[in-house]
């Protein structure tokens, strides 16, 4: 019997029973051996794909005894860069690199070089960093309704290192506010099952219980179940605009009204949509309002390093007012190192990334974001129409520019594997089984949409003719989706990270 057969036999067990059995099972030598063997096989596949440079480039497991020349280091890096650029430049990648035009990259690189020594922690040394960050927050807040009505004149925020940090600090903020103002010691957050995994991370890091709410047939969170889940320990409700997996926008207005009525926070996770949704609205597309124009929305996360076209490493977290933002800030009054205050998780921070973000916002401008959104939506129309001509493939939910694809008749992971064989780098998802493509400016280049549809047609035809092909990662996805033992999967993921850090 192999792991897949065992998991099929045990799939009917309830969660706690499964976890109990799993713990016992892992102690049985025969089972442990089986698992170790499966793991070793999986790791071999992974190591091969994670470490393609083994044998091609010299390894440096320890410091060279004397420093290498700049030329040698740069030559090696240039060579890796050249290998790694091809795929995303030509538009084979879902998400990942959101702008990618060489002129834009060159400009950001110049800005980075100018500011590479900057650290916003040292406000006295780098007033430029302070200016850049204050203006980034204000520009992003204005995109999301700052000042459009009396009740949202004071929208404020901070720059963070990415969407995950924006979400982490926002959840910490609600936890601390509820403890301070309401004496809540066992805080809970209510969130869609499809909300980004960063909320799960926040729950683990900050000890906030999660109440996960399933989605309805349209892949939006079930609003009625959210309403029922509110209790005296609820500190925040979360909605995505849109969600990472299926690209659908939750019913933010209704959800935020529930929060408003109950006197609790509401967070719109607009990491993915922050620079698309408001511009799509201006262009006349039928997208819902998801920002501070809704009186119940008290915070948002908006990723400048996605569709804001900044370099990787910046995001913005926004709050309705400064009073709420205070619960995010860290201060120390008694440390022998002096009086200390810091807005976010990190201490010292890369000021150059904020500078590059500021420069990206200024150089693209409102017109640039409108143009980019229009191009992405037009490409999305083409791709949606193309997918609809393939009877074996369906799009999950009603999304705008992110398409999650599944199939009733084929193993969708085998289709994904065929797309990978055709050079695509797409995101495999589960529960339900599907994969997605998040469209970026890279896909608006001539011919890319057509190539995607043709490759998808070819992949579907191949899987139809050759079902059950066990190549690549398809069996891993299949196993991860079906295995009831989540602890075993978690062990595999930790081993994956071990492989990442293997020299
Ligand atoms: C990308 C994303 C995040 C945060 O991801 P980071 O990788 O930390 O920037 C959060 N929510 C959604 C919906 C996202 O797409």
pLDDT exceeds cutoff 70 at 16: no
- Would you state the pLDDT for residue 23? 75
List for the chain the helix, strand, coil content (%; round to 5): 50, 15, 40
> 427 - beta bridge partners?
436
What separation in Å is there between the alpha carbon of 436 and the centre of ligand 1?
A: 15
Contact, 168 vs 343, CB < 8 A?
no
31-49 residue pLDDT tens: 778 878 877 877 887 888 8
Residues of the chain with pLDDT > 90, as a percent, come to 81
196 in contact with ligand 1, CB cutoff 6 A: yes
418 in contact with ligand 1, CB cutoff 6 A: no
Would you place residue 21 in the very low, low, confident or very high pLDDT band (cuts 50, 70, 90)?
Answer: confident
What separation in Å is there between the alpha carbon of 429 and the centre of ligand 1?
A: 15
pLDDT exceeds cutoff 60 at 303: yes
The CA-based angle 292-296-297, given to 5 degrees, is 40
Phi, psi dihedrals of residue 402, rounded to the nearest 5°: -125, 125
309-330 residue pLDDT tens: 999 999 999 999 999 999 999 9
CA end-to-end span of the chain:
35
pLDDT exceeds cutoff 60 at 11: no
- Choose the residue to mutate in 95, 98, 168, 198 for probing ligand 1, maximizing ligand atoms within 8 Å of C-beta: 198
pLDDT exceeds cutoff 70 at 392: yes
- Would you state the pLDDT for residue 330? 98
What separation in Å is there between the alpha carbon of 196 and the centre of ligand 1?
A: 6
Alpha carbon 250 to chain centroid, angstroms: 16
Question: Nearest Cα to 202, choosing from 191, 213, 194?
Answer: 191
Taken in order of first residue, the domains within the chain and their CATH numbers are: 6-55+478-500 (no CATH), 114-362 (3.40.640.10)
pLDDT exceeds cutoff 60 at 10: no
DSSP assignment of 454-481: HHHHHHHHHHHHSTT---TTHHHHHHHH
- Would you state the pLDDT for residue 37? 83
How much is the average pLDDT of 150-177? 95
**Distance between CA 141 and CA 156 in Å, rounded?**
7
* Residue 228, token pair as written in the block: 């029922």
Query: Taking the CB of residue 28, how many other CB atoms lie within 10 A of it?
Result: 11
- Would you state the pLDDT for residue 62? 97
- Would you state the pLDDT for residue 49? 82
Which are the contacts of 271, defined by CB distance < 8 A and separation ≥ 6?
A: 163, 166, 167, 196, 244, 301, 302, 303, 306, 315
292 in contact with ligand 1, CB cutoff 6 A: no
Ligand 1 atom nearest the C-alpha of 242 is: 13
Q: What is the mean pLDDT of the chain?
A: 93
- Would you state the pLDDT for residue 458? 98
What is the pTM for the complete model shown? 0.94
What separation in Å is there between the alpha carbon of 197 and the centre of ligand 1?
A: 8
* Residue 417, token pair as written in the block: 């594997």
What separation in Å is there between the alpha carbon of 481 and the centre of ligand 1?
A: 22
């Amino acid at each position: 019997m192999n792991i897949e057969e065992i998991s099929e036999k045990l799939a009917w067990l309830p969660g706690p029973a499964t976890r109990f059995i799993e713990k016992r099972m892992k102690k049985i030598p025969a089972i442990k051996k089986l698992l170790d063997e499966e793991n070793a096989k999986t790791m071999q596949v992974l190591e091969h794909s994670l470490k393609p440079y083994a044998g091609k480039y010299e390894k440096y497991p320890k410091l060279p005894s004397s420093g290498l020349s700049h030329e040698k280091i740069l030559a090696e890096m240039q060579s890796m860069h050249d290998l790694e650029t091809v795929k995303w430049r030509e538009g084979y990648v879902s998400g990942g690199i959101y702008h990618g035009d060489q002129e834009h990259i060159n400009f950001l690189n110049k800005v980075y070089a100018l500011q590479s020594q900057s650290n916003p922690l040292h406000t006295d040394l780098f007033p430029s960093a302070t200016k850049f960050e204050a203006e980034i927050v204000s520009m992003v807040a204005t995109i999301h309704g700052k000042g459009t009505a009396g009740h949202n004149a004071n929208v404020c925020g901070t720059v963070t290192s990415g969407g995950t940090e924006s979400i982490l600090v926002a959840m910490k903020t609600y936890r601390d506010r509820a403890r301070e103002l309401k004496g809540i010691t066992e805080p809970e957050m209510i969130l869609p099952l499809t909300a980004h995994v960063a909320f799960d991370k926040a729950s683990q890091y900050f000890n906030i219980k999660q109440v996960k709410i399933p989605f309805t047939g349209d892949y939006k969170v079930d609003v009625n179940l959210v309403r029922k889940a509110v209790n005296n320990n609820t500190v925040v409700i979360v909605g995505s605009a849109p969600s990472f997996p299926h690209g659908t926008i939750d019913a933010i207005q209704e959800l935020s009204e529930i929060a408003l009525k109950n006197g609790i926070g509401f967070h719109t996770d607009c990491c993915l949509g922050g620079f698309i949704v408001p511009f799509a609205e201006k262009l006349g597309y039928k997208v819902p309002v998801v920002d501070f124009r809704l009186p119940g929305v008290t915070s948002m996360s908006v990723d400048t390093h996605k569709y804001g076209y900044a370099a990787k490493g910046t995001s913005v977290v926004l709050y309705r007012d400064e009073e709420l933002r205070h619960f995010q800030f860290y201060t120390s009054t008694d440390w022998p190192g002096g009086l200390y205050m810091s807005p976010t998780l990190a201490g010292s921070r890369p000021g150059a990334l904020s500078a590059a973000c500021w420069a990206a916002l200024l150089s693209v401008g409102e017109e640039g974001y409108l143009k980019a959104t229009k191009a992405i939506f037009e490409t999305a129309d083409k791709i949606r129409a193309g997918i609809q001509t393939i009877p074996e493939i369906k799009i999950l939910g009603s999304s705008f520019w992110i398409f999650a694809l599944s199939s009733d008749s084929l193993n969708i992971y085998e289709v994904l594997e065929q797309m990978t064989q055709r050079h695509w780098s797409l995101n495999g998802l589960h529960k339900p089984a599907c994969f997605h493509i998040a469209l970026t400016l890279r896909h608006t280049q001539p011919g890319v949409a057509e190539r995607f549809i043709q490759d998808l047609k070819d992949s579907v035809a191949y899987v139809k003719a050759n079902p059950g092909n066990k190549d690549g990662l398809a069996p891993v996805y299949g196993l991860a989706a079906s295995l009831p033992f989540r602890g075993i999967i978690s062990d595999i993921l930790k081993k994956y990270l071990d492989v990442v850090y293997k020299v």
